[in-house]
Amino acid sequence: MFWSVDRIENGQAVCISDAEQQCVLPLSSLPPETKEGSVLWEEKGVYQIDREEETRRRERIAALLAGVTRKEGKE
């Protein structure tokens, strides 16, 4: 299951899953480079950053924003 780091507060990462579940994890239990927007993969209680999934999601968001910008410019 993928988890996206929504925000970091008081040394804890607030994460949202693809199924829109929320969990709060101690930042100390995550890879040191974890930041807001990181996409994590959990396996057997160990979290890793999935850079390929992050890239896919960022590209998809960029394409959606580009589509919205084009629509706004035509109106």
45-72, pLDDT tens digit by residue?
Answer: 899 999 999 999 999 999 999 888 776 6
1-50, pLDDT tens digit by residue?
Answer: 899 999 999 999 999 999 999 999 999 999 999 999 999 998 998 999 99
DSSP codes joined into one string, 25-42:
EEGGGS-TT--TT-EEEE
* 62: phi then psi, degrees, rounded to nearest 5: -60, -40
Question: What are the angstrom distances between the C-alpha of 52 and each of 9, 55, 68, 72?
Answer: 25, 5, 25, 30
Q: How confident is the model at residue 74 (pLDDT cuts 50, 70, 90)?
A: low
CATH code of the domain occupying 2-74: 2.30.30
pTM: 0.80
pLDDT at 75: 55
Tokens encoding 4: 């996206």
